[in-house]
Chain A
Amino acid sequence: MSATIEKGINALKRQVDSSVAAFFSSCVHCGICAEACLFYTETGDAKRTPINKTEPLRRIWKSEYTLFGRVGKMFGLTRKVTDEMLEEWQELVYDSCTLCGRCSMVCPVGNDIALMIRKTREGMAAAGQAPEGLIGATTRSVTIGSPMGVKWPALAAQIRHVEEDSGLKVPVDQSDVDYMLLLSSMEIMNFPEFIEAMAKIFDKAGVSWTISSEAFEATNSGIQIGVSDIAAELVQRIVDVADKLRVKTVISPECGHAYMAIRWDGPNLVGKPFGFKVRHVLEVLDDLHKQGRLKLAGKDTQRLTYHDPCQISRRGGVIDEPRNLINLFADNFVEMPDGGKMNWCCGAGGGVSANERADEIRLKVFDRKKAQLEEVKPDAIISACSNCRIHLEDGLEEHNMDIPLLSLTETIAEYLSDE
């Protein structure tokens, strides 16, 4: 047994708790989870059934944490987790799962299969069985501070552009402010309009805010690849700065997994509750509107639909807020079939878009989103995750579908009232 597979097995052992044991004890192999997973529905490949992706973790649970399994292990009857096995499972655990969690919503016995797959990744990564693309993104996050290698000077340059264009000040490293805004590399490089939108909204709302030059990156490759130590280190960087600047609320931007990382996993990764609140930007906007600080004027008469980013809606709990906000300016809003907590994933989350090996299947499973869009026939799609946005644009282009993608925050900024 090599050192790496040993590490992988130990990492899997650490993932087993009472919830995992209850889940595995309850699975009856009904296969219903497959029908909830776009990686199965769009490929028809049975091995991509969600529960099958958790097989490495199941073997460890069975042989180490059940009486029958332990007895079986003494007689050499249990199935082992080996390097070869994990190598075979890489494609299932990383390329064919966005951790979207639809399977967890439909399992009749109640298994949180997405959580089990997330936990399986911890063992895969520790055994050195993670995709190159994700290893690269994670390494860049640790050494440079961003999965895409974006450094502060790049953001500083974007901020200068925003300030020139808008005539507004973007506060940097201010202490004792209401909000500290985090950004995803994708926003910094591809959608700097988001920063401008935030500057405009905060200016109108009259709240204090800042961007930190030390901790501006919201994304967290550690939780995508499944290395809790690295995920914790990336969260800690934000915690240190938020504490130093004494900010009241840290804002997670339009990025799905970034929200999961800082809002729900963050305190558990660093091992203690935060001294500040964490909110998704849509929660902040909805809150500002409720306080009367966000006023909109004008209506969009186009047929608009909303694509729920999985980690923000189903896995994150921000479902009503985007709809409240959209209703402020949309005259002709239409839900996608299964919209809300049962929405279908775009196909690129959970590290899939950072994994070049998965490019082909990523575009293949877009067929599910395409079918949803063909039913709704929207003039434009609103979303709140730049990763979803880029992939949706990719998929639409592939099928020659000309539907623009809008950021909800940026659209709100366009409808700000002049009052």
Chain B
Amino acid sequence: MSEIEILSWARGPGLQIATVIFVAGVVIRIFEILLLGRKANLAEAKGSEMSSGLKTMITRTVPDKTTFKRSSVTIVAGYVFHIGMFISFFFFAPHILFFKDLIGISWPSLPGAVIDACAVISIIALLAVLVNRLTNKVMRFLTNFEDLLTWFLTFLPLITGYFAFHRIGFTAPSLLAAHLLSVELLLVVFPFTKLMHTFTLFLARWYNGAISGYRGVES
């Protein structure tokens, strides 16, 4: 296969297969959770489940002061990498064109230089996340193969994207193909790993807030 053939496969069938696995996988996983159901609470309520749940979905984004002090590296590196990745993923002009082709809607983009900076910051933060994972006593203890695999699969699209953006080392079609394939790999693995937290954390936060809010405590 030539690099052009690989690129067209990655743009066409490859992307379709990956998207189907991703969407079906995520839907199955979410239904798998929700269908388990949960018993209604029979104790007299001191607060509202629904509003507390919704509130915690948002408020849990900000750590409390003591937690921030005790886990600052984990929190800062985590935030920087998530935000940087979010910006370069959603606000890079070629990405927006790609989404427009896929779902028909588009939105304003950010200048290439801003995206470039965000990607670099994300890459550095993700490296810091890895170093922290391997050196922090608790994280090293908790780390398993899946943690390293998902780290690597998240890192790949960022680094291949950076290389493609700057045309480093290879021809443009090769770099673009590598970038697309790395994204497809991430999509395929996504529903079966902790990457699912992207969606399920909102469920988890809702339950946490609801359980606590029912007893009159903001969590």
Give A contacts to B, CB under 8 Å: 16-23, 25-32, 34-36, 40-41, 44, 46-47, 49, 51-52, 65-68, 104-112, 115, 263-268, 271-274, 277-278, 313-317, 319, 337-338, 341-342
Nearest CB on A from B214, distance (A): 8
What's the A-B contact tally at a CB cutoff of 8 Å? 179
Q: Which residue of B lies closest to A22 (CB)?
A: B203
Given A46-B137, A106-B67, is A111 in contact with B32 using a C-beta cutoff of 8 Å? no
Q: Tell whether, in the assembled complex, residue B32 and residue A67 are in contact, meaning their CB atoms are under 8 Å apart.
A: yes
Q: Which residue of B lies closest to A342 (CB)?
A: B64
Give B contacts to A, CB under 8 Å: 28-29, 32-39, 41-44, 46-47, 56-57, 60-61, 63-64, 66-67, 70-71, 74-75, 78, 136-144, 147, 192, 194, 196-197, 200-201, 203-209, 211-212, 215-219
Nearest CB on A from B172, distance (A): 35
Nearest CB on A from B76, distance (A): 12
Nearest CB on A from B61, distance (A): 8
Q: Tell whether, in the assembled complex, residue A21 and residue B32 are in contact, meaning their CB atoms are under 8 Å apart.
A: yes
Nearest CB on A from B180, distance (A): 25
User: What is the CA–CA distance of A342 and B63 in the complex, to the nearest angstrom?
Assistant: 12
Q: Which residue of B lies closest to A320 (CB)?
A: B216
Q: Which residue of B lies closest to A66 (CB)?
A: B32
Q: Tell whether, in the assembled complex, residue B197 and residue A29 are in contact, meaning their CB atoms are under 8 Å apart.
A: no
Given A19-B38, A31-B142, is A67 in contact with B28 using a C-beta cutoff of 8 Å? yes
Nearest CB on B from A231, distance (A): 14
For A266, the chain B residues whose CB sits under 8 A away are 43
For B63, the chain A residues whose CB sits under 8 A away are 32, 106, 108
User: What is the CA–CA distance of A108 and B57 in the complex, to the nearest angstrom?
Assistant: 10
For A34, the chain B residues whose CB sits under 8 A away are 138
Q: Tell whether, in the assembled complex, residue B32 and residue A28 are in contact, meaning their CB atoms are under 8 Å apart.
A: no
Contact of B194 among A29, A44, A52, A316 (CB under 8 A): A29
User: What is the CA–CA distance of A31 and B77 in the complex, to the nearest angstrom?
Assistant: 14
5 residue pairs, one from A and one from B, having the closest CB atoms: A110-B205, A317-B216, A46-B141, A31-B138, A267-B42
User: What is the CA–CA distance of A316 and B218 in the complex, to the nearest angstrom?
Assistant: 11
Nearest CB on B from A273, distance (A): 5
Nearest CB on B from A69, distance (A): 10
Given A46-B137, A110-B56, is A25 in contact with B42 using a C-beta cutoff of 8 Å? no
